[in-house]
Structure 1
Amino acid sequence: MLLFSVFLLLLWSQVANAEGVMKSDQDKPDLCLLPPKVGKCKARLERYYYDDETKECTLFYYGGCDANENNFEKKEDCEKRCGDTGKLVCPPVPVGKSGACVESCGDGCTGGQLCCSNGCGHSCMDGIKKPIPRTPLLGCPPVIGKGSCKVEKCGVIDGQPKCPEGQLCCYNGCTYTCVEGVATEKPEICYMPAKVGKCKAKIEKYYFDAEMNECTLFYYGGCDANENNFDTKEDCEKRCSGSVHIDICNLP
């Protein structure tokens, strides 16, 4: 009887552990989906972030301030928190299509599947990786007619005031002034995270930080780059940013 009780206890422990692992995989924190954030400071601190594209924890050089939560001192800490599987969610129901109007999940799904809506009832389905939420990128609104020439000019010339947070320096048909940005479509590369790569060089590059809606300095290792990698801030802004940076010699 004692041996049978021990057997049941061990069996229950294994089932509980398996459920815990499955739950852990599905409940991966959203911080693991954040891009690496170098920050505006100039330090060069070795840190690790979880790269959702490669499914591994990768070295990058942190500037020392303005970090987000996807920032770990040790690779082991990163792997412990984020692992190598994405958070799973139910797939979207195709528009205009639905499955059988029955509830077929029963006592739960097995094999890592989720109980999902099929458009009418529910059935067990393979989960899909949760997509990374995208913050709309802001750009200058289109110029319609001639705006006021008496408004305060923004920081296109040294000494002029910079725009408040959330506004952009845009041409209004007469001069450059601060206005509210409008949502714009940007190239796919502007949403890519900064990719330091596995090499050990320290090359100053710029990437477009979609979370901050600005081009930010980072230190590129010298290999394994993605396309969100620019030699100058101006090149980055020309491709991805909505703010205006112009040659003051060409001002009217």
Structure 2
Amino acid sequence: MTTLISLYIFLISFLLKRVIASLPDPPIFAAVQHYPSLCYLPPDSGLCAPERTNQDTEYSNDGASKYNREDEEYNNNISRLLTRYYFDMATEQCYPFGAQNCGGNENRFETLLDCQKRCRMGSFRASNTKL
């Protein structure tokens, strides 16, 4: 009985290897150049690069930091994680996600209501904008 099971396992694994080896490579899709509406855009949080630490700070010859308090406040405002909303075309719903102010795309709304107004079914078709 165990010999029969071993033979069965061998045959299954042999066949699977042959099937997997004969499968074609997955297709390579080109990046989409234009979307029918900003609501079709994938969510993009625009995350910032990691902040500099004190050890990374550059100093001038007199030992003073090259970065002043204004730079520090600016960096803190950019790198703060914000709650924004994006529209998901598959579910036709708006969802929250964490975002920063370092890029991203237009499928990023400050409030749930803004997202729903702009992208609910029917409203985005009227404002068909190529991006």
Relative contact order, CA 8 A, sep 6+: which one is greater?
2
TM over 0.5: no
Q: TM-score range by the shorter chain?
A: 0.3 to 0.5
Q: Decide which structure has greater helix share.
A: 2
Q: TM-score w.r.t. structure 1 length?
A: 0.24
